[in-house]
Amino acid sequence: MNMTTATCACLLVGLTSAGCETEQLMLQKSALTIELRKETTTGMALPAGCPTLIKSLPATQTSLTVSYLEPTKSQNGALLTDLAYTTIYLSAKGTPTTAIRVWTNDPHGGAQVTISDIPVPTSEIGLCVTATNWAGKESLSASTKP
């Protein structure tokens, strides 16, 4: 094999590998893990626009799963480069608001996040998810359709 052929072979392998990196990131966790229990706070104030989704649950349901896609663009349309975490807010009448902070694995966002085993205090719960950058700026709640 001559030097030109070897160089072309290396470039082809590099391009093939780069093309395979487009798969979507997935982040799946249980709210009962020590990691997320440490990131759960009660008595938080709801951000503007929360809750955006009111969900009625069967009276026998004691937990739920929340899934969402991390944002990839800021609210002004620029690509994200500094996403730190997302926060799931849960609110219900007569109970303190709960906030679960979920740290991202990629500052550009885009991961499919699924958090399971989230305890629910009542059969009607308000949900919203926000994103926060490394400067501590929290987004407005995303509009969510049931």
Q: Domain ranges in the chain?
A: 24-133
In this structure, CATH architecture of domain 24-133:
Sandwich (2.60)
Q: Can you list the residues of the chain whose pLDDT is less than 50? A: 1-22, 144-146
Residue whose C-alpha is closest to residue 107's, from 134, 81, 130: 81
> Residues of 84-113 as b/e, b for ≥16 C-beta within 10 angstroms?
bbbbbbbbbeeeebbbbebebeeebbbbeb
The string of pLDDT tens digits covering residues 61-71 is: 999 999 999 99
Beta strands in 18-135 (DSSP E): 26-30, 40-42, 53-56, 63-69, 83-92, 95-103, 112-119, 124-133
pLDDT of the residue at 1: 39
